Amino acid sequence: MFNESFQTPLIRRIAIVGSGLSGLTAGIILQEQGHDVSVFEKSRGPGGRLAAKRVSGGSADIGAQYFTARNPDFLPFLRKYAGEESFETWQGRFGFRDSSGEWSSFPEEPRYVGTPRMTAITRALSAHVNVVAETRVGKMTRNDSEWALEDVNGNPLGHFDQVIITAPPAQSRDLLADSGLAELASHLDDPVERVLPCWAVAIHFEQTPWSHHEGMRTDHPVLYWVANNSSKPGREDSGQWWVLHGDPEWTKQNVDTPAEQAAARLIDAFREVTGFDDEPDEVVTHRWLYARSEGGDQPGHLWFSEDGIGIAGDWLSGGRVEGAFNSACSLIRTMVPDS
């Protein structure tokens, strides 16, 4: 797919909305094929939900916790464009508590993390493609056979032959609707409903609060996932940073709860699960409005050939980091059939 020997007959100007893993993957492959690619990102840096927050002494992965690489093309792609040093296997004990209250192990398979933080991967990938940061694409207007893009303040962003949108479904739908593309936007109505939010908290302790697992899925109604962030390779934290993710349904019901209260509830739930009573000495909270997508159709990508608009993202292919890669590859196979 990202074979350098591929020759494309036509150079296209392609805009990509979003610099998460799906946007960067699409951008790199298309650029390798000789196209003229610009990636627009509303945030300060690339990465999207492969995110880390600065905390004292280092950083904590506040979004995706680890990724799998079942697609044999994924690791070679990362090695080539992000570099061997940007990710490593997370050797840990991963478990979940079943309905009988017993702990069971996750299936054996390699789990990878960015080193020294998740964003190391997307930062390295972004060096291969032109990423225009702090630029939220607000509207696309069709002029003859090209798209004129503008940001949310009406500033022009250029003219393009094709546009790939990789934002989460709600943001993709808004962009299509604000561009007068109501029919295209309606394809996203169902996916928008399937994306759930997530309250995330990073907490710091001087000593280990739980020594049985490095990552665990709990059966607590408030707490979905707990990870010892400091146990990931390449982290050199003093003390221990742990990451807690709220249950998606609980987060949905508490999405407007003030951050401090949401964090306190998650920390209480952590105490109930682990029995560890100490107060964390630092707490960093983040609310994901669009965290994970569940169920629904997973066609891999959407491609509207007459409009020259493609849509890719994790939610079209399994809802995970590897799904974001798979979705971008699947879209490009359709846009450029011989690749």
- Could you give phi then psi for residue 74, rounded to 5 degrees? -70, -55
Q: Which is nearer to ligand FAD, 12 or 136 (CB)?
A: 136
What is the smallest separation between the CB atom of 339 and ligand FAD, expressed in angstroms?
A: 19
Site string for ligand FAD, 183-222 (x = CB under 6 A): ---------------x-x----------------------
Q: Which is nearer to ligand FAD, 166 or 274 (CB)?
A: 166
**Candidates 30-38, 60-68, 156-164, 330-338; binding stretch for ligand FAD (CB under 6 A):** 60-68
Task: Provide the 10 A C-beta neighbour count for residue 137.
Answer: 25
Q: Which is nearer to ligand FAD, 8 or 133 (CB)?
A: 133
Cα atoms in the Cβ-side hemisphere of radius 13 Å centred on 96: 9
d(CA 137, CA 111): 34
What is the smallest separation between the CB atom of 119 and ligand FAD, expressed in angstroms?
A: 11
330 binds ligand FAD (CB under 6 A): no
What is the smallest separation between the CB atom of 206 and ligand FAD, expressed in angstroms?
A: 25
**Candidates 39-47, 95-103, 184-192, 298-306; binding stretch for ligand FAD (CB under 6 A):** 39-47
291 binds ligand FAD (CB under 6 A): yes
Q: Which is nearer to ligand FAD, 101 or 253 (CB)?
A: 253
Region 75-134 residues binding ligand FAD, contact defined as CB under 6 A: none
- Residue choice 28, 30, 38, 49 for contact with ligand FAD (CB under 6 A): 49
CA 149 to chain centre: 24
Region 231-250 residues binding ligand FAD, contact defined as CB under 6 A: 245
Q: Characterise 274 by phi-psi region: left (phi > 0), alpha (psi -120 to 50), beta (else).
A: alpha
Task: Provide the 10 A C-beta neighbour count for residue 88.
Answer: 16
Tokens, residue 121:
């991967």
- Residue choice 29, 35, 41, 69 for contact with ligand FAD (CB under 6 A): 41
What is the smallest separation between the CB atom of 241 and ligand FAD, expressed in angstroms?
A: 15
Of 299, 318, 301, the C-alpha closest to 310 is 301
Treating both helix axes as pointing N-terminal to C-terminal, what angle do 119-126 and 21-32 enclose, rounded to 10 degrees?
30
262 binds ligand FAD (CB under 6 A): no
59 binds ligand FAD (CB under 6 A): no
SS3 44: coil
CA distances from 43 to 46, 130, 231, 312 (A): 7, 15, 28, 19
CA distances from 201 to 81, 220, 224, 259, 305 (A): 31, 16, 12, 9, 42
Which residues make up the interface to ligand FAD (CB under 6 A)?
A: 17-23, 40-43, 48-50, 63-67, 136-137, 166-168, 171, 175, 198, 200, 245, 288, 291-292, 313-314, 319-324
